[in-house]
Amino acid sequence: HHVHPCPACGIIYRADEHHPPILPVRAQLPMQLSGSWVSTHCEVRPAVLFLTRYFIFHSNNHTWEGYYYHYSDPLCKQPTFTIYASGHYTQGIPSSKVRGGTELAFKVTQARVTPMDQVTVMMLNSSEPGSCGLTSSWSAGVEQDITPTNGCLALGIKLPHTEYELFKTEQDTKDRSLLYIGERPTDGSSPDSPDKRPTSYQAPLIQCAGASEEFSNYVSLKYLGKKDTNGREALKPLPVAFLLFIALLFLR
C-alpha cells in the first residue's frame, strides 16, 4: 500500500486482531438490468456441469432471454448442449435478507435445446416419449423447441416455471458494469419457491458495452457451426475467439 496507496489498503494495514478494519461503505447502485450481459469465464455448477451464460434484458416490457452454453470440461472447450430460454420478470424490490440485493421473480415460458455431441443426442432420443421434444428426432447441431412438451425431463427443465432470484449490480475498478445473479442450490435444483431464494451470488456477468442484440445470433452461429444470412459458413465454437471478443470489449 506504500507503493500504490489506497484508503482501504491503509485501513487494513493499520488494523489488528483487537482493532479490525472498518472499511468505508460503497454507494449502492440502482438496479439497471437493461442490455446484454455475458460470462467472463467458464463457470461450474453442481453435478459436474460447466457453462457460459449470455442474457438480454428488455426493461421496457420486463422480458428476458438467456443462452446457457454447456460443456463437458472445466475449460469450456467441449460443447454438449445449449439451452435458450425466455420469459418475463417482475419489478424488483430491495432484499430484506441481503443488503444491497434486489429480489425478483423470473417466469420461464419458452425454451429451446440444441444437442452438440452424440452422447447428448442419444440421451435425448432415448427419453420417454412426449417428455422432451419430438420423440427420437434429435440430432447434433439442430435446435428443437421443447415448449410444447412442457420442457425436457431428461435435462431437468420444466415449463412454465418461476425462479425466485437475487440480483445486484456493481462497477469494478475500471468502471465496467457487473451483474451478480443468485447462486444455484447445491443440490442442483432451481430456486422455484420463495424459501429457496439465494442469499449469495454467482460469478459476475459483464455488460456488453455498445454491443447490439444481434450478438446473440452471432454467438449462436459460432457455437452451432451454422451458416449466417449471407450464406457464409460460421466457425465451430472456439473459446479463444470468445476470449478475444471479451478482450476487445475491455479495450473499448
How do the domains of the chain map onto residue ranges?
33-209
Work out the number of other CB atoms within 10 angstroms of the CB of residue 177.
Answer: 18
Residue 221: the pLDDT is 43
Strands 157-158 and 49-58: unpaired
Residue 154: the pLDDT is 94
pTM of model > 0.85: no
Residue 214: the pLDDT is 43
Residue 4: the pLDDT is 65
Q: Round to whole Å and give the CA distance between 106 and 71.
A: 25
Residue 3: the pLDDT is 56
Q: Reply yes or no: is the peptide bond before residue 160 cis, omega within 30 of 0.
A: yes
Residue 211: the pLDDT is 44
Q: Which parts of the chain register pLDDT below 70?
A: 1-5, 210-252
Work out the number of other CB atoms within 10 angstroms of the CB of residue 223.
Answer: 23
Residue 236: the pLDDT is 42
Residue 7: the pLDDT is 78
Residue 55: the pLDDT is 97
Residue 93: the pLDDT is 93
